[in-house]
């Protein structure tokens, strides 16, 4: 207990934040060989992160926070870790580490009657916000790695030039996946009423809360998302205004125009 003559106590000064650092991450397979893939990182406790590609199995994360960060090794095509991906906490001060790439389950699918070679495949766990991107081979074959047991996925496939598309929902890595039969899709079009001072507006079709089809909004607010399967969809428009995230949604049927007002969403 302090006497009357003792100086008053003050709270200790909080430590200065640690300076940013570069972190070198070596990505290896089960045999310890350099693996091809991505390294996703985020500050400890953060919801969103950044994916960095590897060269010869090595990724260099530039100027990440000096505090602990979380790392996830992802196969090619994945840019966000789905539910169930193993995570590694890298303590403060560590500048070099190794990650083992867990390839998970693999599925090979085929697009029936593939007509042209430049297709696009978007895969997302039903808990994801953003999908992973994959390619279609000339014969219509799609190779997917990194599927997690017990996790259900949505798969959207489209041919860019023909407008044919398909959406498969609720697929599990533990079950056989069907062949994909494309049908003629239709565009979703409309106009976004834009707020002043906005910074690049995006628009997307949400499937189970995930962005599986998206496009850019023109300066006059108009947009067009190609090859959307028939049905009623949630359309989301989002942007930044003076550093504040602004978003709004509307329901629209394929082929019908939709209007979304972002001006009052502050």
Per-residue pLDDT of the chain (266 residues; tens, 9 = 90+): 455 666 666 666 667 778 999 999 999 998 999 998 999 999 998 878 999 999 999 999 999 999 999 999 998 778 788 777 889 999 998 999 999 998 788 898 889 887 766 678 999 988 888 888 888 888 888 988 888 888 899 999 998 888 899 999 999 988 889 999 999 999 999 999 999 888 889 999 999 988 999 988 999 999 999 999 999 999 999 998 888 889 999 999 998 999 999 987 55
Rounded (5°) CA angle 249-250-253? 140
Global confidence as pTM = 0.77
Q: Token pair of 135, please?
A: 């390619």
Domain limits for position 46? 21-100
Q: Which of 121, 124, 150, 82 is nearest to 210 (CA)?
A: 124
Residue 64 falls inside a structural domain: yes
Q: Which of 84, 100, 116 is the last residue of a domain?
A: 100
Position 70 scores a pLDDT of 95
**16, part of any domain:** no
- Specify if 75 maps to a domain: yes
Q: Give the number of domains in the chain.
A: 3
| Residue 136: predicted pLDDT | 86
Final residue before a domain boundary, out of 153, 184, 215: 184
Give the CATH number of the domain where residue 118 resides. 2.60.40.1120
Strands 69-75, 37-43: parallel, antiparallel or unpaired by DSSP?
antiparallel
CA gap 126, 259 in Å, rounded? 27
CA–CA separation, 246 and 235 (whole Å): 14
Note whether 31 and 93 are same-domain residues.
yes
Residue 226: which CATH number? 2.60.40.4130
Final residue of a structural domain among 100, 118, 144: 100
Residues 159 and 148 in one domain: yes
Contacts of 253 (CB under 8 A, 6+ apart): 231, 232, 233
For residues 34 and 57, give the distance between their C-alpha atoms in angstroms, rounded to a whole number: 5
Say yes or no: 173 and 201 in one domain: no
């Amino acid at each position: 207990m302090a006497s009357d003559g003792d100086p008053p106590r003050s709270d200790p000064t909080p430590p200065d934040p640690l300076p940013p650092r570069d972190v070198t991450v070596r990505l290896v397979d089960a045999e310890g060989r350099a693996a091809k893939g991505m390294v996703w990182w985020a500050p400890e406790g953060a919801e969103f992160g950044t994916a960095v590609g590897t060269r010869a199995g090595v990724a260099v994360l530039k100027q990440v926070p000096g505090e602990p960060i979380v790392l996830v090794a992802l196969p090619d095509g994945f840019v966000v870790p789905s539910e169930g991906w193993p995570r590694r906490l890298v303590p403060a001060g560590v500048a070099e580490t190794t990650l083992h790439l867990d390839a998970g389950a693999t599925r090979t699918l085929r697009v029936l009657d593939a007509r042209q070679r430049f297709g696009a495949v978007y895969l997302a766990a039903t808990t994801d916000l953003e999908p992973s991107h994959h390619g279609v081979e000339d014969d219509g074959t799609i190779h997917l790695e990194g599927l997690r047991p017990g996790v259900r996925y949505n798969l959207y496939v489209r041919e860019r030039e023909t407008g044919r598309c398909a959406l498969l929902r609720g697929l599990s890595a533990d079950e056989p996946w069907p062949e994909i039969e494309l049908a003629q899709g239709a565009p979703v079009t409309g106009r976004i009423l834009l707020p002043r001072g906005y910074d690049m507006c995006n628009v997307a079709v949400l499937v189970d809360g995930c962005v599986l089809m998206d496009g850019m909004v023109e300066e006059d607010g108009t947009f067009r998302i190609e090859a959307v399967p028939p049905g009623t969809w949630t359309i989301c428009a989002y942007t930044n205004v003076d550093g504040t995230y602004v978003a709004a949604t509307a329901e629209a049927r394929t082929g019908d125009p939709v209007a979304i007002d972002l001006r009052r969403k502050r």
